[in-house]
């Protein structure tokens, strides 16, 4: 038997051994990813969301420094009622923002949440952070303010939303005002129950997310009533 013929099986075994080791490493990484997703959140998309939140935070800082136009400024100073000033400032913000733009910050102390909220709830928007339903009011306007967020991927901002309790405060800070909402109840509904974002006779905040974890079979919805509003920025 020639030397070349005996070398070939040796090389084949090395290749197979290397392939097997690669499969073991890949399997271990997949298992680690699954475990992290189970006990915390999906790590790859969460890293993406982290960078996106940093970018949105910068956008929000810049947005807060943009003054009203001379016409808007002249109009808002003539409004004696602080609530009307807030509503005016909300409309002004709505005119200068598009889907994907940062609009405010959402804080829930109970679950350690502090996330920049952007306008829009399509798939691309929610990969970057909690998204404001464009069809609903902005804080300061009359009606329902609705925000959606992920629970297991892309930073999972609403992962612990089921831990929010009646009586907890939820704070939404906009460039023109700070709004405190008090949780009244949490409900599990069907994905088709769009009535959850309908307007009521009072101002409220609605947070929505898929339920249970790792499933989109249902929706968990937190309902909170506005209890305090404080003008800031252009509305102060």
- Our measurement of the distance from residue 18's CA atom to the centroid of its chain's CA atoms, rounded to an integer in Å, reads 43
CA distances from 86 to 83, 127, 141, 234 (A): 5, 29, 7, 9
What one-character-per-residue DSSP string does 76-145 give? HHT--SHHHHHHHHHHHHHHH--TT-EEEEEEEGGGTEEEEEEE--SHHHHTTS-EE-TTSPPTTSSSEE
210 labelled catalytic: yes
Which is nearest to 154 in space by CA: 37, 60, 31? Answer: 37
8 Å CB contact between 35 and 28: no
- Our measurement of the distance from residue 88's CA atom to the centroid of its chain's CA atoms, rounded to an integer in Å, reads 25
150 labelled catalytic: yes
8 Å CB contact between 105 and 114: yes
Catalytic residue among 50, 132, 150, 211: 150
Residues taking part in catalysis: 150, 210
């Amino acid at each position: 038997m020639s030397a070349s013929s005996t070398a070939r099986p040796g090389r084949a075994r090395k290749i197979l051994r290397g392939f097997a080791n690669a499969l073991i490493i890949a399997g271990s990484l997949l298992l680690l990813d699954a475990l992290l997703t189970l006990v915390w959140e999906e790590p790859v998309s969460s890293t993406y969301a982290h960078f996106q939140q940093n970018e949105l935070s910068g956008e929000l800082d810049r947005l807060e420094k943009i003054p009203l136009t001379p016409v808007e400024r002249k109009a808002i100073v003539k409004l004696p009622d602080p609530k009307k000033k807030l509503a005016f400032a909300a409309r002004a913000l709505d005119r200068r923002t598009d889907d994907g733009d940062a609009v405010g910050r959402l804080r829930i102390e109970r679950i350690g949440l502090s996330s920049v909220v952007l306008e829009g709830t399509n798939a691309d928007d929610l990969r970057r952070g909690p998204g404001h339903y464009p069809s609903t009011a902005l804080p300061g306007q009359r009606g329902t303010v609705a925000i959606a967020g992920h629970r297991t991927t892309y930073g999972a901002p609403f992962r612990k939303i089921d831990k929010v309790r009646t009586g907890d405060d939820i704070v939404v800070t906009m460039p023109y005002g700070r709004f405190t909402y008090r949780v009244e109840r949490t409900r599990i509904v069907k994905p088709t129950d769009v009535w959850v974002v309908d307007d009521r006779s009072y101002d409220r905040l609605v947070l929505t997310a898929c339920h249970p974890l790792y499933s989109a079979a249902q929706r968990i919805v937190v309902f909170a009533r506005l209890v305090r509003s404080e003008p800031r920025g252009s509305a102060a």
